[in-house]
Structures are given as structure tokens and as C-alpha cells.
């Protein structure tokens, strides 16, 4: 989970930084991701806004951003294998849930679940899909509140 949090730091989303880390059954890191625009799609040319003054959805981030979970899954070189776990700083939306299921992830460990009224159905659908597909879901129980990182010679 700490790696997922570290990865989230790289997101340029000014409103929400989400990170994810895919690990094998043996605990080997397979892929890391954070929310961002697709490769080759410049942060300078696409909007990070949540709402646009004109009401045009194309002037918001939502049609363009790739979610952290999808990036973590796509960033792995390994073929899908049983027992993979996905650590994610935020509970996956329904679209990510579909990809998590189809890629064969066995367990999702999340840090927080977003509680926003107008997107509640997205998370209800996500829970429904993950449960139907037999993907285990659990909230991360941290054993420590922080992991300080010192940049110094070992």
C-alpha cells in the first residue's frame, strides 16, 4: 500500500491523486500506476478541471483520464495469473472493476472508499461486480501511520 501511495504522488490531477500497485501471489511487484492522461496525451493540452464553465464535458478531465488501477494492470509485463492482488489508495470505480475482473486479479485491497452522492451508483456497481466475480475485497488495515523516506547513503 505504501508503494501505491508513493505512486499516487506522481499524478498531476490537482484534485485527486490515486495510486495502485499490483502484486503476485508471492508478493512480487508486477505493476504500478497512478491516474493520468494516456501516453502521448499532453497535460498541457487536456484539462484537469472537474467542471467547465460552459458545461461542456469535453472541457473536464473525466473523458480523458486513465485510472490508477488500469495503469497498474497495463504496466505489468506478466501474463495474468491466479492470486494477483491489487493495492489501491481509493476503492475502484465500476469501469476499473470490470478490468480488474477480466485481468484475473483475485483480491483488491483499498485504503479509502470515496463517498460522493452523485457517483454512489458507480461504487455500488463496482462492489456488485467484484462480489459476483468472486474477487476478494478488503480495506487496508495499516500497521503504521507513516513510512518516512530518508534520501541518504545506506
Residues serving a catalytic function are 69
Q: What b/e string do you get for 119-132 counting C-beta neighbours within 10 Å, with b at 16 or more?
A: eeebbeebeebbee
Applying CB under 6 A, which of residues 22, 23, 67, 73 lies at the interface with ligand LCLUPRNS?
67
80-109 positions binding Zn ion, by CB under 5 A = 93, 96
Strand (E) positions, 53-149?
A: 85-90, 107-112, 136-139
13 binds, among ligand LCLUPRNS, Zn ion, none (CB under 5 to 8 A by kind): ligand LCLUPRNS
The answer to whether residues 82 and 53 touch, using CB atoms and an 8 Å cutoff, is no
Nearer Cβ to Zn ion (1/100): 100
C-alpha cell at 73: 494492470
Nearer Cβ to ligand LCLUPRNS (2/64): 64
Q: Which of 2, 110, 17 is nearest to 67 (CA)?
A: 17
Does residue number 15 form part of the binding site for ligand LCLUPRNS (CB under 6 A)? yes
Q: 82: exposed, middle or buried (C-beta count within 10 Å: 0-12, 13-18, 19+)?
A: exposed
75-134 positions binding ligand LCLUPRNS, by CB under 6 A = 90-93, 96
Query: How many Cβ atoms sit within 10 Å of the Cβ of residue 55?
Result: 8
Applying CB under 5 A, which of residues 13, 67, 86, 108 lies at the interface with Zn ion?
67
Binding site for ligand LCLUPRNS (CB under 6 A): 13, 15-16, 18, 35, 50, 61, 65, 67-69, 90-93, 96
Annotated binding site for Zn(2+): 67, 93, 96
Amino acid at each position: 500500500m505504501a508503494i501505491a501511495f508513493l505512486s499516487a504522488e506522481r499524478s498531476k490531477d490537482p484534485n485527486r491523486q490515486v495510486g495502485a500497485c499490483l502484486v503476485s501471489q508471492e508478493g512480487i511487484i508486477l505493476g504500478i500506476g497512478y491516474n493520468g492522461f494516456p501516453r502521448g496525451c499532453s497535460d498541457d493540452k487536456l484539462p484537469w478541471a472537474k467542471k467547465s464553465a460552459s458545461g461542456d464535458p469535453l472541457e473536464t478531465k473525466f473523458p480523458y483520464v486513465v485510472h490508477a488501477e488500469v495503469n497498474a494492470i497495463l504496466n505489468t509485463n506478466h501474463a495474468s495469473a491466479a492470486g494477483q492482488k491489487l493495492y489501491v489508495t481509493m476503492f475502484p470505480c465500476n469501469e476499473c472493476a470490470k478490468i480488474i475482473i477480466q485481468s484475473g486479479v483475485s483480491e483488491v485491497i483499498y485504503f479509502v472508499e470515496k463517498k460522493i452522492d452523485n457517483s454512489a451508483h458507480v461504487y455500488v456497481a463496482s462492489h456488485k461486480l467484484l462480489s459476483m466475480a468472486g474477487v476478494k475485497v478488503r480495506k487496508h488495515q495499516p500497521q503504521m501511520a507513516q513510512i518516512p523516506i530518508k534520501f541518504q547513503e545506506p
